[in-house]
Copies of this chain bind each other. A is one copy, B any other.
Amino acid sequence: MTVEEQVNVINKESHDMSLCLSQEERKKGRGPLLVSQPLTPLKPKEAAKEAEESVIIMEDEEPAVEDASVTEEHSVTNPKKSESVESTSDYMSDTESEGGTVRKRKSSLTETELLAGSTVSDMEMTEEDERRLLEEVPSPARTTTSRTTTSAVVHRLSNVTMSDIEGTVRGRRSSGSSQGTTFTSGTVGSEKTKRRNDQRRRKKERERALEAARGVANRPSSESRISHTVGSKPTGSSKGELVRKLKETGAPDLDILSAVQELKHRKKALEEEIAKVAPKEPEFNRVKMEELLKRRFFFMQSFAIYGGVAGLFDLGPMGCAMKANILHEWRQFFILEEGMLEIDCPVLTPEPVLMASGHVERFSDFMVKDVKSGECFRLDHLIKANLEKISVDKKTDSSLKDECRDMLNKLDGMNVEEMTAILRRFAMKSPTTGSEVSDPCEFNLMFGTQIGPSGDHKGYLRPETAQGMFVNFKKLLEFNQGRLPFAAAQIGDAFRNEISPRSGLIRVREFTMAEIEHFCDPLDKSHPKFSSVSDVLLTLYSACDQMDGNPPKQIPIGEAVKSGLVANETLGYFIVRIYQFLIRVGVDPLRLRFRQHMSNEMAHYACDCWDAEIKTSYGWVECVGCADRSAFDLTQHSKASNTRLYAERKLAEPRTETRMTILPNKAVIGKTFQKDASVLIGKLRAMEQEEVRFLAKEMEVNGEAPVDLGRLGNAAKVFRVTKDMVSFKEAEEKVFVDEFVPSVIEPSFGIGRIMYSILEHNFRTREDDDLRGFFTLPPTIAPVKCSVLPLSGNDEFVPYIKQIRDSLRYAGVSHRVDDSSGSIGRRYARTDEIAIPFGVTVDFDTVNIKPPSVTLRERDSTQQVRIPIAELAETVRDLSDGKLSWKDVEGKYPKFEAQKSEEDRKKAKGEK
């Protein structure tokens, strides 16, 4: 196959959805139910190796040229793609005239960047340039770009642009929703540009030195890796072709499976590559951020004075306020805005409920025990650690090393037998004591307890809040006057007894979730508001693209639903709402994508599932799931509780049906089954037509039939029902409605993970003070909205401080007074650390000049204005609510430079 042909194949594949995985196939896939994907950290070395293996073209140091050529090929060889580009252009056509300059500047910028020998890390710098560019454009400007520049840049740019359309882009969050003004710190001088270029050069040199020091000189340079991943064709895609061919020709399952496995590994390697190319925060330093978070008590490990408990964290005053603000926003954004029905169910959940949901049986991980100390280890983690150790050991011969690496690659897809074989083959021991380890056993991740004193009622701490909404479906439907669709929502704590929690706030044993269950008619999953969001451009990482080793794509949700990539409008609508919410609370849109579950990770009943993944220093973290769970949950609970959880669809014309009814003989049943009789009678009466007819037939043939009551208490019960216990009646009935089990679409938010991601994305240091970090949290999310700093402890200041506090309190603005003796700069640095967005200084002018005024400072720009005290509280309130932008404030009030009193005093002193 020539290079051209191969590219052709890739492109054709990646856009022909029908060839990839049909809905039917997806449904059949039996992935691990509800177990969230483990967060395996990126493995740069393996990735490098993977890249080495798959690089088949151009080990070139000139990425600009390479990129151009690759994308050139791309657009030539892929008719479908050009089509999509065209349609995007169509959609954007009205902006071409407005946004022309942007586009021009953009490409010239890209060229400059690339010709300057752009590296991965250099790309970060362009982000700021883009912002500057965008600021110069009259807004709202709808702009996008065709795929003629590097994808990374396209990715970033179109993201910003799309956000621009939405009015939600980070840098512009402060803008009033009705106003298109931008949030800029002024023009960028050539002086600054020069300095930045210098920094860039130095940084690059440092990186090269580091790379050499790490002994990875023989690795392909980052430039070539980018170009490879972004535009060219990894060999993995031929495997994709292979899988499909195998399926078409009806090859043995084993062959298909192994090919799929192989694909999965390619996908992983590719993901790592993409991660490397993706824009990164220039200088993110987790240690530094965590030091700050702990010092200012955003959070810390729980029960620290008792040695701490893994996987449990306390939120301090700052973390707590931030979480409360996120939840408040969530409530506003989802529950109030969409008229959802919020409920609040207990954490304690009786076993039968979680039996029905499948958690008791399947919500587990495998682990081994140290036979002496009893310490437990998660099986896959233990194997991974051991294989990694073996593969870098000097004594290991090279063929074994290769084998280990191969096993490591395949580990995630292995079943327990395969893992056990590896465990025993290498005689892996307990890492802490060196003792033998037990055979692997399954460990259910739910915390168990006993409800009530008798010890008979096993219960669990809920592993998700969803079940509370399912079991309340009937009551909720009634509350909604029998009408579908409607959504229930719940905010609450959930618990998972992780075997070995790690990754800080990302993997914990107790966490807050916010879940939505949208109940709708399975025949109509349209959404009335979908048209209002259909233009929103999202970064979608489809199952096909993952399988075929393609990068994520920018697709308007309308198109994604139309093409069938996203299963239906309601799912699509929620994906957009999730996106909008995350941006609003401070997630960087450039580090947010939606990844579709692949067939092997999606529950067998789910139609489609997309995870909102956020890029953090721990890698891409699943923070929100959004799944179409079909009718699975309600069906399960209907069966297990013998309660009909149905909705009704009115028929256009009433219909006549012959229905068979069971008439239970209460006397006989009562005598036979005693206290269980009523449950049995209930079950008989709740039976579906097919069940009734089956029973009637069985009675006729065998004189008896088993009736499965699911679980009664903790034991499964099947009753033998005999002919004398029931009779049957058949009659014609006029039917006015169709009954059906509603489908459920479930967006499910992990609040702690979102919170952590926001903190990472908003951690900054100032150019002039890189010792002190601070957080650029959106004002709505910031723990405290306003600081009040008196310049002096003088008595004259007191009444003004009081007036300001009272007015802020009346306006409902949370604030802190810092009357400590530190310099004003030092005090501002302290308030910046806890992300206080607005600062008020009460100075000598406040006291001396009427009407009294103060300075108001914005955290991110550090700009200040002079504002009358009488207008302060409302202004800060509106700024905090996002109803007013800082730009507006700057437009309205004079910029603050220096105190008049101070000047006068200096003058006076000078005169003396």
Question: Do the beta carbons of B497 and A451 come within 8 Å of each other?
Answer: yes
Measured CB to CB, the nearest residue on chain B to A328 is B328
Question: Do the beta carbons of A348 and B495 come within 8 Å of each other?
Answer: yes
Q: Kindly identify, within residues 295 to 312 of chain A, every residue whose CB is under 8 Å from any CB belonging to chain B.
A: 296-297, 300, 302-306, 309-310, 312
Cα–Cα, bound, A461→B457 (Å): 17
Question: Do the beta carbons of A374 and B305 come within 8 Å of each other?
Answer: no
Question: Do the beta carbons of B342 and A456 come within 8 Å of each other?
Answer: no
Distance in Å from the Cβ of A330 to the closest Cβ of chain B? 12
Q: Counting CB contacts under 8 A, is A871 at the interface?
A: no
Q: Counting CB contacts under 8 A, is A472 at the interface?
A: yes
Q: Which of B321, B352, B510 contacts A347 (CB 8 A)?
A: B510
Question: Do the beta carbons of B479 and A316 come within 8 Å of each other?
Answer: yes
Q: Kindly identify, within residues 627 to 666 of chain A, every residue whose CB is under 8 Å from any CB belonging to chain B.
A: 637, 640-641, 643, 645
Q: In the complex where A300-B475, A314-B345, A337-B809 touch, is A643 in contact with B305 (Cβ < 8 A)?
A: yes
- For A468, what are the chain B residues with a Cβ–Cβ distance below 8 Å? 302, 314
Q: In the complex where A314-B343, A343-B317 touch, is A471 in contact with B303 (Cβ < 8 A)?
A: yes
Cα–Cα, bound, A302→B451 (Å): 13
Question: Do the beta carbons of A321 and B342 come within 8 Å of each other?
Answer: yes
Measured CB to CB, the nearest residue on chain B to A643 is B305
Cα–Cα, bound, A302→B300 (Å): 34
A66-74, A442-450, A523-531, A725-733: which lies at the interface: A442-450
Question: Do the beta carbons of A451 and B309 come within 8 Å of each other?
Answer: yes
Question: Do the beta carbons of A305 and B450 come within 8 Å of each other?
Answer: no
Question: Do the beta carbons of A314 and B443 come within 8 Å of each other?
Answer: no
Question: Do the beta carbons of B336 and A814 come within 8 Å of each other?
Answer: yes
Question: Do the beta carbons of B449 and A448 come within 8 Å of each other?
Answer: yes
Q: Kindly identify, within residues 605 to 645 of chain A, every residue whose CB is under 8 Å from any CB belonging to chain B.
A: 637, 640-641, 643, 645
Cα–Cα, bound, A405→B151 (Å): 87
Cα–Cα, bound, A376→B453 (Å): 6
Q: Kindly identify, within residues 787 to 807 of chain A, every residue whose CB is under 8 Å from any CB belonging to chain B.
A: none
Per-residue CB contact flags for chain A residues 322-350 toward chain B (1 = under 8 Å, else 0) read 01100000011000110101111111111
Q: Which of B342, B443, B814 contacts A317 (CB 8 A)?
A: B342
Measured CB to CB, the nearest residue on chain B to A323 is B344
Interface size on A, residues (CB 8 A): 83
Question: Do the beta carbons of B814 and A352 come within 8 Å of each other?
Answer: no
Q: In the complex where A305-B637, A510-B348 touch, is A342 in contact with B320 (Cβ < 8 A)?
A: yes
Cα–Cα, bound, A624→B715 (Å): 42
Q: Counting CB contacts under 8 A, is A455 at the interface?
A: yes
Question: Do the beta carbons of B451 and A449 come within 8 Å of each other?
Answer: no
Q: Counting CB contacts under 8 A, is A564 at the interface?
A: no
- For A820, what are the chain B residues with a Cβ–Cβ distance below 8 Å? 481
Measured CB to CB, the nearest residue on chain B to A492 is B493
Copies in the complex: 2
Q: Which of B302, B342, B451, B479 contacts A345 (CB 8 A)?
A: B302
Q: Counting CB contacts under 8 A, is A779 at the interface?
A: no
Q: Counting CB contacts under 8 A, is A243 at the interface?
A: no
Per-residue CB contact flags for chain A residues 451-470 toward chain B (1 = under 8 Å, else 0) read 11111110101000000100
Q: Counting CB contacts under 8 A, is A761 at the interface?
A: no
- For A455, what are the chain B residues with a Cβ–Cβ distance below 8 Å? 374
Q: Which of B310, B350, B447 contacts A309 (CB 8 A)?
A: B350
Question: Do the beta carbons of B353 and A641 come within 8 Å of each other?
Answer: no
Measured CB to CB, the nearest residue on chain B to A712 is B307
Q: Counting CB contacts under 8 A, is A90 at the interface?
A: no
Distance in Å from the Cβ of A478 to the closest Cβ of chain B? 8
- For A493, what are the chain B residues with a Cβ–Cβ distance below 8 Å? 347, 493
Q: Counting CB contacts under 8 A, is A812 at the interface?
A: yes
Question: Do the beta carbons of A346 and B453 come within 8 Å of each other?
Answer: no
- For A349, what are the chain B residues with a Cβ–Cβ distance below 8 Å? 303
Cα–Cα, bound, A809→B335 (Å): 12
Question: Do the beta carbons of A315 and B302 come within 8 Å of each other?
Answer: no
Cα–Cα, bound, A302→B350 (Å): 10
Query: Across chains A and B, which 3 residue pairs bring their CB atoms closest together, nearest first?
Result: A315-B344, A305-B641, A376-B453
- Residues on A facing B (Cβ under 8 Å): 296-297, 300, 302-306, 309-310, 312-317, 319-321, 323-324, 331-332, 336-337, 339, 341-350, 352-353, 367, 369, 374-376, 443, 447-457, 459, 461, 468, 471-472, 474-476, 478-479, 481, 493, 495, 497, 499, 509-510, 637, 640-641, 643, 645, 809, 812, 814, 816, 820, 881
Given pairs A337-B809, A339-B816, A348-B509, 6 additional interface contacts (CB within 8 A): A297-B475, A305-B471, A305-B645, A317-B343, A324-B342, A348-B510
